[in-house]
Amino acid sequence: MDQTLYLILLLIALCSISECVQRQYHFINVLKTWTEAQRFCRKNYTDLATVDNMNDMNELKKSVNDGGVQYIWIGLQKTSVDKWQWSSGEPALYLNWGSGQPDGRVECAMMRNGEWHDWSCSNNLTFICSSSNMNTGLVFVNQTKNWRDAQSYCRQNHIDLVSVRNQNESQQIQKFINDNHRSNDVWIGLFRVRDPWQWSDQSNSSFRDWNTDEPDIIGKLKNCTVIGPNALRRWHADSCNNQFPFVCHEDKLILIKENLTWPEALRHCRQNYTDLVSVHSVEMQEEVMNVVKRASTEAVWLGLHNYCQMNMWLWLSGEIVCYQNWAPGNGTTPENCSLTKRKGALQSGGDQRWISLPETHKLNFICSRS
Ligand SMILES: *[C@@H]1O[C@H](CO)[C@@H](O)[C@H](O)[C@H]1NC(C)=O
Ligand SMILES: *[C@@H]1O[C@H](CO)[C@@H](O)[C@H](O)[C@H]1NC(C)=O
Ligand SMILES: *[C@@H]1O[C@H](CO)[C@@H](O)[C@H](O)[C@H]1NC(C)=O
Ligand SMILES: *[C@@H]1O[C@H](CO)[C@@H](O)[C@H](O)[C@H]1NC(C)=O
Ligand SMILES: *[C@@H]1O[C@H](CO)[C@@H](O)[C@H](O)[C@H]1NC(C)=O
Ligand SMILES: *[C@@H]1O[C@H](CO)[C@@H](O)[C@H](O)[C@H]1NC(C)=O
Ligand SMILES: *[C@@H]1O[C@H](CO)[C@@H](O)[C@H](O)[C@H]1NC(C)=O
Ligand SMILES: *[C@@H]1O[C@H](CO)[C@@H](O)[C@H](O)[C@H]1NC(C)=O
Ligand SMILES: *[C@@H]1O[C@H](CO)[C@@H](O)[C@H](O)[C@H]1NC(C)=O
Ligand SMILES: *[C@@H]1O[C@H](CO)[C@@H](O)[C@H](O)[C@H]1NC(C)=O
């Protein structure tokens, strides 16, 4: 066979590895209250189980190797935290409420003289959309609609209902309103997050699989979540003081916020976990991108090392680098073999691409657990 063709076939064979296991579930068949179960999981694994999607739910069900068990705790708990969020999906970090606001039990917010007021979503107001077409990035819509319809209108015709993420944006929007002589109340994209249920590990997963008529909002005593009996194992709210078996999860990727050289990081991971992480696929890249956000250094070590004489990059797990996400100028040009050995790191911010650095740099790093 032609040698190039052979190499390409070999690469295809080697590169078709697909892996995507963010966390592993462990069923603990011991009766505990929700808080005791949480303590057990945090000590021995990562936390009480978080579920991101139906795939996770199926994995979790598989971990329960005793069909006779009826109710089982997972990590979802009701909190009274009142959260506001932008229509674009961003959390509302900057807040500019008028004095005494928010003061109602309503779910939407409007802007009056630059300040925000909570306002019943069914009221009809004019509104401002964010837009890519206009110089200002803003469009005033001179039609009154309720908040939901205003949101749909903006999403269909522009980008979304406007976000006001900092004082600068707030001033720009006020200027926009004044320049256009529109001083009435306008909807902005702010709404109250209705779902008070939060995951024990602080994950913001919005996946829910409540059973019909759950969660029981009248049952003020039912602040914790069990998965129910039968094969579906849909979710029910229950009293946190009841005792049930439970499911813990263990994260497969662990960010270590210590500043170590690459060889030190490798030793730390191999001693305490399995290895420095290898990123074989776009799915894996997404997972490490998620983990790396909390890093304190500008980049974090990956299990990526340069085999200088061959001008090749390899993963610790032995695989050649198939999926690639190098920053421009990195990873492609041959390294100078008479200098310090080079290793691969992932940028913590920006595009979160891979960069080549001397192994003596001190960085945070990501260990994997298999
Ligand atoms: C961790 O697990 C062990 C046995 O599996 C158990 O004895 C111990 O109590 C657990 N730790 C906590 C904090 O529950
Ligand atoms: C349940 O959570 C609510 C807040 O959502 C709180 O007001 C209430 O006291 C909690 N009940 C129990 C029994 O913990
Ligand atoms: C908003 O406008 C709609 C359609 O014109 C109307 O049916 C509805 O009653 C109005 N809502 C309020 C709160 O005035
Ligand atoms: C907005 O619409 C109202 C009635 O449809 C009209 O009277 C008003 O002049 C319009 N305002 C602007 C600034 O276009
Ligand atoms: C405010 O936003 C404008 C436009 O995006 C930008 O040019 C300006 O630098 C910003 N000012 C500050 C203080 O961030
Ligand atoms: C959850 O948080 C991540 C960042 O930690 C963010 O990228 C994602 O959009 C958030 N998801 C939701 C539904 O808020
Ligand atoms: C393993 O983890 C412990 C606790 O974080 C740490 O003290 C130790 O140095 C680690 N092992 C290595 C080889 O780094
Ligand atoms: C690691 O380095 C970063 C950036 O230099 C620094 O902000 C952080 O405090 C350091 N962390 C530790 C544990 O020394
Ligand atoms: C590697 O990428 C970083 C970040 O983009 C850049 O600063 C650096 O110049 C690149 N290295 C080379 C050799 O181009
Ligand atoms: C490699 O680095 C050494 C030491 O700094 C230097 O003398 C040499 O010219 C470099 N080689 C290349 C090809 O850049």
Quickly count: other Cβ atoms within 10 Å of residue 143's Cβ.
Answer: 11
209 has a pLDDT exceeding 70:
yes
3-state SS, residue 108: strand
Query: Atom 12 in ligand 10: which residue has the minimum CA distance?
Result: 336
Residues having CB within 6 Å of any atom of ligand 7: 267-268, 271-272
Ligand with minimal distance to 342 CA: 9
Cα four-point dihedral sign 77, 78, 79, 81: positive
Find out whether 177 and 183 touch, Cβ atoms under 8 Å: yes
Cα four-point dihedral sign 71, 72, 76, 78: positive
User: What's the mean pLDDT in 125-131?
Assistant: 95
Q: Please state, for a pLDDT cut of 90, what percent of the chain lies above it.
A: 65
Distance CA 317, CA 166 (A): 45
**Which atom of ligand 1 sits closest to the CA of residue 40?**
14
Ligand with minimal distance to 172 CA: 5
Distance CA 162, CA 137 (A): 9
Give residue 12's pLDDT: 53
Q: Dihedral (C-alpha) 193, 199, 201, 205: value to the nearest 10 degrees? A: -60
Q: Please state, for a pLDDT cut of 70, what percent of the chain lies above it.
A: 92
Q: Which amino acid is at 312?
A: M
Query: Atom 3 in ligand 1: which residue has the minimum CA distance?
Result: 44
Give residue 183's pLDDT: 67
Give residue 290's pLDDT: 83
**Which atom of ligand 8 sits closest to the CA of residue 257?**
13
CA of 311 to the centre of ligand 1 (A): 48
- Where do the domains of the chain lie, and which CATH numbers do they carry? 23-79+198-251 (3.10.100.10), 84-192 (no CATH), 253-368 (3.10.100.10)
Q: Of 10-19, 57-66, 282-291, 344-353, where does mean pLDDT reach its minimum?
A: 10-19
User: What's the mean pLDDT in 336-364?
Assistant: 95
Ligand with minimal distance to 78 CA: 2
Give residue 221's pLDDT: 82
Give residue 219's pLDDT: 58
Cα–Cα distances in Å, from 119 out to 105, 106, 124, 164? 9, 6, 10, 17
Distance CA 107, CA 84 (A): 9
> Structure tokens of 5?
């063709």
Residues 6+ apart with CB under 8 A from 77: 34, 197, 198, 199, 200, 223, 224, 225, 240
Residues 6+ apart with CB under 8 A from 9: none
Residue 21's nearest CA partner among 284, 231, 277, 219 is 284
User: What's the mean pLDDT in 326-333?
Assistant: 93
Surface-to-core class of residue 235, CB atoms within 10 Å of its CB (0-12 exposed, 13-18 middle, 19+ buried): buried
User: What's the mean pLDDT in 332-349?
Assistant: 93
Residues having CB within 6 Å of any atom of ligand 6: 89, 204, 206, 293
Task: Note the pLDDT tens digit of each residue in 290-317.
Answer: 889 889 999 999 999 999 988 899 999 8
Task: Establish whether residue 333 lines the binding site of ligand 10, counting it when its CB lies within 6 angstroms of any ligand atom.
Answer: no
Cα–Cα distances in Å, from 175 out to 140, 179, 268? 12, 6, 54
**Within 13 A of 185's CA, how many CA atoms are on the CB side?**
17
* Peptide bond connecting 263 to the previous residue in cis, omega within 30 degrees of 0: no
Find out whether 75 and 50 touch, Cβ atoms under 8 Å: yes
Ligand with minimal distance to 336 CA: 10
Higher pLDDT, 104 or 19: 104
**Which atom of ligand 7 sits closest to the CA of residue 270?**
13
Task: Establish whether residue 122 lines the binding site of ligand 3, counting it when its CB lies within 6 angstroms of any ligand atom.
Answer: yes
Q: Of 66-70, 295-299, 344-348, where does mean pLDDT reach its minimum?
A: 66-70
Instruction: Read off the pLDDT band of 6 (50, 70, 90).
Output: low
Task: Give me the numbers of helices (H) and strands (E) for the chain, helices first please.
Answer: 7, 21
Please state whether the predicted TM-score (pTM) of the whole model is above 0.75.
no
Task: Note the pLDDT tens digit of each residue in 173-202.
Answer: 999 988 877 768 999 999 988 778 889 988
Residue 275's nearest CA partner among 370, 368, 365 is 368
Distance CA 276, CA 366 (A): 6
CA of 125 to the centre of ligand 5 (A): 28
**Which atom of ligand 10 sits closest to the CA of residue 336?**
1
Task: Establish whether residue 44 lines the binding site of ligand 1, counting it when its CB lies within 6 angstroms of any ligand atom.
Answer: yes
Residue 326's nearest CA partner among 370, 279, 363, 361 is 279
